[in-house]
Chains A and B, each alone.
Chain A
Amino acid sequence: NAGVTQTPKFQVLKTGQSMTLQCAQDMNHEYMSWYRQDPGMGLRLIHYSVGAGITDQGEVPNGYNVSRSTTEDFPLRLLSAAPSQTSVYFCASSYVPDRARNTEAFFGQGTRLTVV
């Protein structure tokens, strides 16, 4: 199984450009999420989805959009890149049981984004 696949692995953008970070999973997981990882901050939730057609904001959603048209894919869009969005982005997926217990989250390898 491929697990969670993220593309691209590296990206450099100019301020104001837009781009889409791709995330796909082949485990039929209902729950998918995007995190950003910054030095000294741990991982912070950007957006999440509990199923196709359903998305919601996490703790740091500003400047990002998501959609979930299929179970497998959960792209993250940067609308107008800013230097503050320089970070490493991780996509994760898992099952959603009754109360979200006993659910291992599987992570992609990450996208390192630099905005200049």
Chain B
Amino acid sequence: GDSVTQMEGPVTLSEEAFLTINCTYTATGYPSLFWYVQYPGEGLQLLLKATKADDKGSNKGFEATYRKETTSFHLEKGSVQVSDSAVYFCALRHGGSNYKLTFGKGTLLTVNP
């Protein structure tokens, strides 16, 4: 079945540091890939997505590229801010009988001033 493996963390960075959160997946066919973010006490929000190989998703300074050859979708940001502190989830979804999102376990990011 489908699975997503992501760096578990927690990750602690200083403001303006470079961020990478690794994500790899196992799936049949050609899934769409997503990064969701969960701020404290809130639900999940879509951060960015990519639907086919070599697509780059980007939003709020975050980027991730769909790499089919390495089955990866690593999240990067060049300069993190305190407001980026949250839990980040990598996920995949494709057509099938239940259209479900398959999530990684989440990575807690804390950015210190």
Q: Bound pair: A and B?
A: yes
Per-position contact with A for B76-91: 1 when CB-CB < 8 Å, else 0? Answer: 0000000000000100
* B102: min CB distance to chain A, Å: 8
Does residue A56 face the partner (Cβ distance < 8 Å to B)?
A: yes
Measured CA separation A96–B93 after assembly (Å): 12
The docked-state distance in angstroms from the alpha carbon of A59 to that of B103 is 13
Main secondary structure of the interface of A (DSSP, over half): loop
B44 neighbours in A (Cβ, 8 Å): 43, 90, 92, 105, 107
Q: Are B99 and A96 in contact (CB under 8 A)?
A: yes
Asked whether, in the complex, the Cβ of A100 is within 8 Å of the Cβ of B99, the reply is yes
Chain A's interface size range is 20 to 34
In the complex, what residue of chain A is closest to B1 when comparing beta carbons?
Answer: A59
A108 touches B93 (CB 8 A): no
Residue of B nearest to A50 (CB): B99
Interface size on B, residues (CB 8 A): 27
Contact with B along A77-98 (1 / 0, CB 8 A): 0000000000000101010101
The proximity string for A residues 11-50 relative to B, scoring 1 for CB distances below 8 Å and 0 otherwise, is 0000000000000000000010100000011110100101
Nearest CB of chain A from residue B110's CB, rounded to whole Å: 16
Residue B32 interfacial (CB < 8 Å): yes
Q: Which residues of A contact B46 (CB under 8 A)?
A: 104-105
Q: Does B68 contact A (CB under 8 A)?
A: no
Distance from A49 Cβ to chain B, minimum over Cβ atoms (Å): 10
Contacts beyond the supplied A42-B106, A45-B98: 7 A-B pairs with Cβ under 8 Å: A42-B103, A43-B101, A48-B99, A94-B99, A98-B95, A104-B46, A110-B42
Q: Can you identify 17 A-B contacts, CB atoms within 8 angstroms?
A: A31-B99, A40-B8, A40-B105, A42-B4, A43-B89, A48-B100, A90-B43, A98-B95, A101-B94, A101-B95, A102-B51, A103-B93, A104-B46, A104-B49, A107-B43, A110-B42, A110-B43
